[in-house]
Structure 1
Amino acid sequence: MAQTAAALHILVRHKEQAEDIISKLKKGANFDVLAKKHSTCPSGKKGGSLGEFGRGQMVPTFDKVCFTGELLKPHLVKTKFGWHVIKVLYRT
């Protein structure tokens, strides 16, 4: 079972905006560019990079996607912070 993961994310306030971002990603848009433009999280300035983190370090719904979701595919997750578009890069 993986103990660490690395992910990118874009945090926005509204589900519709997150869905629009996912649509753009599926059409080939650059995650880094969209994160810098739309993310309300400080990580947006780094292209949405959260770096590597351990299991249980993120809020439960976010953590679940990072440790069970398909790699390199955008995922939509709602947390107390807002709507996240998450792209899991790898797990170790």
Structure 2
Amino acid sequence: MARTAAALHILVKHESQAKDIIEQLKKGAKFQVLAKKYSTCPSGKKGGDLGEFQKGAMVPAFDKACFNGELLKPLLIKTKFGWHVIKVLYRT
């Protein structure tokens, strides 16, 4: 079972905007470019890069998505912070 993961994410306030970002990604937009443009998280300045983190370090819904979701495929989740588009890069 994986103990660490690395992910990129884009945080926005509205579900509709998050879904629009996923559509842009499906059409070939670069995740890092969209993160810099739309993300309200400070990580947006770094292209949404959260680096590597331990299981349990993030809020539960985010953690679950990162450790159980499909790798390299945009995932949409909601937390108390807003709507996240997550791209899990790898797990170790």
Calculate the TM-score normalised by the size of structure 1: 1.00
In structure 2, runs of 5+ residues without a counterpart are none
Equivalent-residue separation in structure 2 for 1:27 and 1:64 (angstroms): 26
1:81 aligns with 81
In the alignment, which residue of structure 1 is the partner of 2:5? Answer: 5
TM-score normalised by the chain length of structure 2: 1.00
Offset of residue 4 of structure 1? 0.1
Residue of structure 1 in register with 2:38 after alignment: 38
In structure 2, how many angstroms separate the alpha carbons of the residues matched to 1:48 and 1:90? 15
Post-superposition offset of 1:39? 0.1
> What is the SS of the residue equivalent to 2:10?
strand
CA RMSD of aligned residues (A): 0.2
- Aligned residue pairs: how many? 92
Quote the offset at 1:44 in angstroms.
0.1
